[in-house]
């Protein structure tokens, strides 16, 4: 997996509106939180994204940018974002480039090959990973308090 202290792997992915979001455009502006999640509209993924939504005020106060990334199409992510009133960008890694670059590729998720392991990365303004958490069990959520503490340290 992408490790703490390493340069964050680059990605340029479509958001839920079909616009390409390039990680490089956000480097230098504040902490970046990258959350890989297996699939939109699944129970734990919905809970995770809604928890992030509900904590966006604290993250915004630290000038953090948040990206939720899954292998769903940007069309699916648009519906997921709308239905859950999410207030941050969801990015489509439909071609599985980012999950491979961050080494969070899951080859067997209920028989499906090529889904992201649930994971969280916090990247500093220099583009270096300062926090990395990859969960083996998709039924667990990332450590939200540690993520928030890390972005507050980096603000």
* Torsional sign, CA 107, 141, 60, 151: negative
Whether 45 sits among the annotated catalytic residues: the reply is: yes
Which listed residue (8, 13, 45, 138) is catalytic? 45
Q: Which helix (H) or strand (E) holds 47?
A: helix 43-54
Give the number of other Cβ atoms within 10 Å of residue 140's Cβ.
12
C-alpha dist (Å) from residue 36 to 29, 61, 82, 155: 21, 22, 19, 22
Can you tell me the distance from the alpha carbon of 59 to that of 152, in angstroms, rounded to the nearest whole number?
Answer: 8
Can you tell me the distance from the alpha carbon of 136 to that of 3, in angstroms, rounded to the nearest whole number?
Answer: 16
List the catalytic residues: 45
């Amino acid at each position: 997996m992408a490790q703490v202290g390493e340069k964050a792997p680059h990605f340029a992915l479509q958001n839920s509106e079909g616009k390409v979001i390039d990680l490089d455009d956000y480097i230098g502006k504040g902490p970046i939180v990258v959350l890989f999640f297996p699939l939109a509209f699944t129970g734990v993924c919905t809970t995770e994204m809604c928890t992030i939504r509900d904590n966006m005020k604290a993250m915004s106060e630290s000038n953090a940018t948040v990206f939720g990334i899954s292998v769903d199409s940007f069309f699916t992510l648009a519906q997921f974002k709308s239905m859950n009133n999410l207030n941050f960008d969801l990015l489509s890694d439909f071609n599985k480039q980012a999950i491979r670059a961050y080494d969070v590729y899951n080859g067997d998720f209920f028989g499906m090959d090529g889904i992201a392991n649930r994971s969280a990365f916090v990247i500093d303004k220099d583009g270096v990973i300062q926090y990395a958490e990859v969960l083996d069990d998709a039924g667990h959520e990332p450590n939200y308090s540690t993520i928030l503490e890390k972005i507050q340290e980096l603000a």
